[in-house]
Amino acid sequence: MRGVAAIVFGVLALVWPSLTVQVLVSLFGAFALVDGAFTLFMGIDSREFNDRWWAMALGGVSGIVIGLLTFFYPSVTAMVLLYFIAAWAMVTGVFEIVAAIELRRVIDGEWAMTLGGLLSIIFGVLLAAFPGAGALGLVWAIGIYAISFGVVLLVLAFRLRGMEREPEKARS
């Protein structure tokens, strides 16, 4: 679900490149809330078999907090939105990598989660480093990032789904 939400958000950002800051804030806020809620649920749900479930849960909480902040402050400027998005991407990326480290003991396909975490961190750093890139560039960067991250999450989801069907291959 997280991968699908990311892809939908990314496509919407690319299809409507002339989005106003207010619409972008709303789209990002909704995406961060949905992604955060799913991540928090997955973290809590995995606590019985994942020693670092808390990393995923904290990543989910951070997404929810960033999503709520965007809704509580709808008149946020493009620059502040950019830093909200950059902070969210970097925090999410770190927690994705921590969760991937734990998953490597369970499956062979943890590289997809690690790659998603690295993409998030790189995206966040680039947004923070080049804030004057312009609103249109920001919309395109966000759209491309969201689609890329969504595809990586879908690859991971299908890998995990395959593990469920063939558990003996997961630990090889």
**15-32 residue pLDDT tens:** 876 655 567 778 888 888
**89-144 residue pLDDT tens:** 999 999 889 888 887 777 777 788 889 899 999 989 988 888 766 556 777 788 88
pLDDT (0 to 100) of residue 165: 67
Domains in the chain: boundaries? 2-163
CB under 8 Å, gap of 24 or more: what pairs does 151-157 form?
Answer: 151/3, 151/7, 152/3, 152/112, 152/113, 152/115, 152/116, 152/119, 153/2, 153/3, 153/6, 153/112, 153/116, 154/3, 154/4, 154/7, 155/109, 155/112, 156/3, 156/109, 156/112, 156/113, 156/116, 157/3
